[in-house]
Amino acid sequence: MAKILVTGGCGYIGSHTLVDLIDNGFDVISADNNINSDPSVLKGIAAITGKTVKNYAVDLADLAATKEIFSANPDIGGIIHFAARKSVAESVNEPLAYFRNNVNSLLNLLECMKEFKVNNFIFSSSCTVYGNPDAIPVTEETPFKPAESPYGRTKQMGEHILEDFSKTHQHINSISLRYFNPAGAHESALIGESSFNKGWFLVPAITETAIGKREQLTVNGTDYDTKDGSCIRDYIHVMDLANAHTKALQYLIEQTQTKNYDVFNLGIGQGVSVLEAIHAFEKVTKVSLNYKLGERRSGDVIAIYANSEKAERLLGWKPSRQIEEIMATAWAWENRPKAVG
């Protein structure tokens, strides 16, 4: 099989996707400068798969350094691009850092695809491209609304760049995967969400509060126009999400697509509120969570969840895990032996 470059391969979704790619017979390499990831995750990947993954500690916003990866690996047949800064809250405070990193890394990879004749590209997009949609669930035809954060805007920009690029490079096939809220961990508890991300996202914030790393969890906003006043999201297990990237890549390699650029939603199609997620954790783990109700947080979308019928129809992908399994695997990862990572 073709060699696949996974950018951000030491990150949360990237590391789980490396496992799924290896399980499906792909040869893989990673590019990750580890500014918000932990290179020790490669040990977990090796323990799960029996394969050692080479990582290039390269800043993809540096074009010359990025080209060196392709020069050293002339057999790269596809790219899955995860490498990006991804905190909504941080992006509000550091917008230039997000534009500089997220946009430039994409442009450099596309330049390398042209020069080194790599024809398959999967872009890690996000449901944030929809902003606060007028109706839910959202489909791939749902129009973009103004992004609620600079992070979301970089994903909108990335999709527009790919759409324009595809019009003049018909031989290059690319897909944007708009996914919702990844959570959980590999069933082995050998890899999961890195400590670099703790506190940025709800599920790790729940588990670190439950285990005592945080004194208390704050529910940001309880007066939204939702079923219980808290924000609603579509939580998808990270291994289901990882498998969608493999299936999207296979879809391109097999050349079964009808156009050279397409987009897919990835979610379970159910909205879960912040309070419902907390209660699901308490039910599965039998642990009472210390949380309080707080003010709204800047940049948060009120409610969003997916219609993923297109991915099921064309990619043959369908998630198999629900919120309970997300919480169970996240808790197992939080309770892993200290020597694991």
Provide the token pair at 217.
């969890």
Q: What does the pLDDT read at residue 339?
A: 47
Report whether 56 contacts 14 (CB < 8 A): no
- pLDDT the model gives residue 195: 66
CA nearest neighbour of 313 among 270, 271, 260, 258? 258
Helical pair 323-334 and 202-211, crossing angle rounded to 10 deg:
50
Q: What contacts 251, CB < 8 A, 6 or more positions away?
A: 175, 257, 314, 315
- Answer yes or no: are the C-beta atoms of 167 and 335 closer than 8 Å: no
Return the pLDDT at 205: 92
Distances in Å between the alpha carbon of 256 and those of 47, 145, 245, 247, 249?
34, 31, 16, 12, 11
Instruction: Round to whole Å and give the CA distance between 339 and 341.
Output: 6
Q: Tens digit of pLDDT per residue, the chain (341 long)? A: 789 999 999 999 999 999 999 999 999 999 999 998 999 999 999 999 999 999 999 999 999 999 999 999 999 999 999 999 988 888 999 999 999 999 999 999 999 999 999 999 999 999 989 988 888 899 999 999 999 899 999 999 999 999 999 999 999 999 999 998 899 999 999 999 876 655 468 999 999 999 999 999 999 999 999 999 999 999 999 999 999 999 999 999 998 778 999 999 999 988 999 999 999 999 999 999 999 999 998 878 888 889 999 999 999 999 999 999 999 999 999 999 864 44
Q: What are phi and psi for residue 303, nearest 5 degrees?
A: -155, 135
98: phi then psi, degrees, rounded to nearest 5: -70, -45
Measured between alpha carbons, how far is 167 from 144 in angstroms, rounded to an integer? Answer: 20
Gap between the Cα atoms of 128 and 137, Å rounded: 13
Q: Are strands 3-7 and 232-233 parallel, antiparallel or unpaired?
A: unpaired
Q: Do residues 40 and 207 make contact, with C-beta atoms less than 8 angstroms apart?
A: no
Which among 155, 127, 17 has a CA at the least distance from the CA of 78? 17
Furthest C-alpha separation in the chain: 56
In 91-250, the DSSP E strands lie at 120-126, 173-179, 181-183, 217-220, 232-233, 235-237
Looking at the domain covering 3-183+235-267, what would its CATH class be?
Answer: alpha beta
Measure the CA dihedral 295/301/306/310, to 10°. Answer: -160
22-31 exposure pattern, b = at least 16 Cβ within 10 A, e = fewer: beeebbbbbb
**Residue 338: per-residue pLDDT:** 66
Kindly name the residue from 56, 98, 130, 151 that is annotated as catalytic.
151
Structure-token pair, residue 98: 């997000």
- Give the C-alpha separation, 316 to 308, whole Å: 11
DSSP 58-106: --TT-HHHHHHHHHH-TTEEEEEE--S---HHHHHH-HHHHHHHHHHHH
Residue 151 catalytic? yes
**Cross-strand bridge partners of residue 335:** none
Residue 310 near residue 218 (C-beta atoms within 8 A): no
